């Protein structure tokens, strides 16, 4: 009998081919990678006066026509807190603009303004699948298409802000630096085809 020692080349993340890295990025991306973005969005949306739950948020991305984010829920003028938005995200100019837009509606229509945020049944998830129907708290009634259009425009802008946050986080998750940190931190080494060695 003869013992044979086989030499198997193993690779760190940085040594893998670009093609193998691209395949592994998707395998290692956690299925719920967006949870922290959802939490951040819900916190910001609450300060803007919205009621939204994680199950009411939908998105698709990030490279096809029709990609985007949308949500269902409600908005109440009395719950808008512009100062809290600025405290929460002091450097986010886009979120500040959105807060000012809603504050403008409150100034014009009063604290009784509210709306229901709906999303049309669609295979798409972008902001244009959303619309708002406004009313006066406790009174019901139709405020007219102009008010609904303003509420819809501002709410769609918030959905676009959400999509930008999701895309930025996704891009960060997929970088070589992040993947290298993940692999090195777990002590992972690979065969040339991307299979884990250890």
Q: What is the reported pLDDT for 25? A: 81
Q: What is the reported pLDDT for 135? A: 85
- Omega of the bond leading into 152 within 30 degrees of 0 (cis): no
Domains of the chain by residue range: 1-29+176-198, 37-173
Q: What is the reported pLDDT for 56? A: 95
pLDDT interval class at 172 (50, 70, 90): confident
- pTM surpassing 0.85? no
Reduced to 3 states (helix: H, G, I; strand: E, B; else coil), residue 82 is helix
Reduced to 3 states (helix: H, G, I; strand: E, B; else coil), residue 1 is coil
Q: Which of 85, 94, 83, 151 is nearest to 118 (CA)?
A: 151
Q: What is the reported pLDDT for 143? A: 65
Q: Tens of pLDDT along 123-168?
A: 889 999 999 998 887 655 556 668 899 999 999 999 999 999 999 9
Q: Tens of pLDDT along 42-88?
A: 999 999 999 999 999 999 887 788 899 999 999 999 999 999 999 99
């Amino acid at each position: 009998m003869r013992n044979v020692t086989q030499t198997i080349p193993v690779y760190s993340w940085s040594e893998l081919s670009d093609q193998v890295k691209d395949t592994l990025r998707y395998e290692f991306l956690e299925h719920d990678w967006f949870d922290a973005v959802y939490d951040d969005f819900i916190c910001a949306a609450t300060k803007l006066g919205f009621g939204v739950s994680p199950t009411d948020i939908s998105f698709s991305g990030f490279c096809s026509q029709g990609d985007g984010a949308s949500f269902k829920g409600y908005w109440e003028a009395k719950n808008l807190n512009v100062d809290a938005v600025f405290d929460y995200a002091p450097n986010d100019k886009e979120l500040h603009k959105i807060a000012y837009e809603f504050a403008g509606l409150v100034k014009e229509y009063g604290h009784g303004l509210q709306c229901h945020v709906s999303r049309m049944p669609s295979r798409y998830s972008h902001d244009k699948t959303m619309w708002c129907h406004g009313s006066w708290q406790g009174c019901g009634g139709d405020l007219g298409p102009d008010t609904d259009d303003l509420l819809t425009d501002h709410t769609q802008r918030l959905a676009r802000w959400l999509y930008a946050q999701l895309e930025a986080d996704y891009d960060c998750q997929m970088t070589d630096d992040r993947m290298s940190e993940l692999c090195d931190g777990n002590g992972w080494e690979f065969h040339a085809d991307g299979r884990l060695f250890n």
